[in-house]
Amino acid sequence: MNREAIFAALFNLLSGVAGAVVVTRRLKVWTDFTPTQKPCICISERDQDYKRDSEAAPAVITLAADLFIYIRTQDSNAVPAIVMNGLLDAIDTALRPDNMVTGLLTLGGLVSHCWIDGRTMVETGDMDGDGIAVVPVKMLLPA
């Protein structure tokens, strides 16, 4: 296992997300980005889960990350949800399978599967134009 190669591959994949101005592996608060740097995506590494079926069995390892998406709409008549929905759709597209045999995203063979897992928290920014979403991603390592 090479954690750095895995997270670098995830970063490289998300760097091509349509509509994102900045993609970074450092989690920052939304005020650290100027309006011209948004929409942006921060990749935050999270939990690492080891599970074993028995003491003799090798661990099944799952790595997790959260994608923090920040948007800013300057026009008070704009609908922030339109910007957010477009970016979330682009992330879904970026995380489509790269292995057509298995139908899974493997990050070029570094993981068995990479997927969005769980509830995506979304605050579109209707009140002030600043929106945020947090997308949970998991990566299952090969056995």
Domain that holds residue 52: 3-140
Our count of domains for the chain comes to 1
Q: Structure tokens of 70?
A: 């920040």
Supply the pLDDT for residue 1.
77
Q: How many Å apart are CA 127 and CA 56, to the nearest integer?
A: 55
Render pLDDT for 50-103 as a digit per residue (tens, 0 to 9).
Answer: 988 888 888 899 999 999 999 998 887 889 999 999 999 999 999 999 888 889
Q: 127: domain CATH number?
A: 3.30.70.1700
